[in-house]
Structure 1
Amino acid sequence: MFDAVDGDPPGPAATPGPPRRADGRPIRPTREQLLAAYGTTVPDLVAPRTTVLLCGINPSLESGATGFHFGTPSNRLWPVLHLAGFTPRRLHPSETDELTSRGISITNFVTRSTARADEIDDDEIRAGVARLAELVERIEPAWVAFLGLAAYRLGFRRRTARVGRQPETLGPAGIWLLPNPSGLNAHYQLPDLAGAYGELREAAYGPIRP
Structure 2
Amino acid sequence: MRHDDCRDEFGDIASKATTPSRVTTEPLIHYGGNEPVTRQANGASNTSNNNNSSTRGGEERGDLAIHGFVQRSKTAILDFVITDTDAPSYGHQPSKKVLEKAAKRKKDKYLEACRERRRDFIPMAYSVDGLAGKEARAAEKRLASLLASKWDRPYSEMACFVKTRMSLSIVRSISMLLRGSRSSAWKRRAPDDGVAARASVTSQRW
Short-chain TM bin: under 0.3
More strand by share: 2
Q: If the length of structure 2 is used for normalisation, what is the TM-score?
A: 0.26
Q: If the length of structure 1 is used for normalisation, what is the TM-score?
A: 0.26
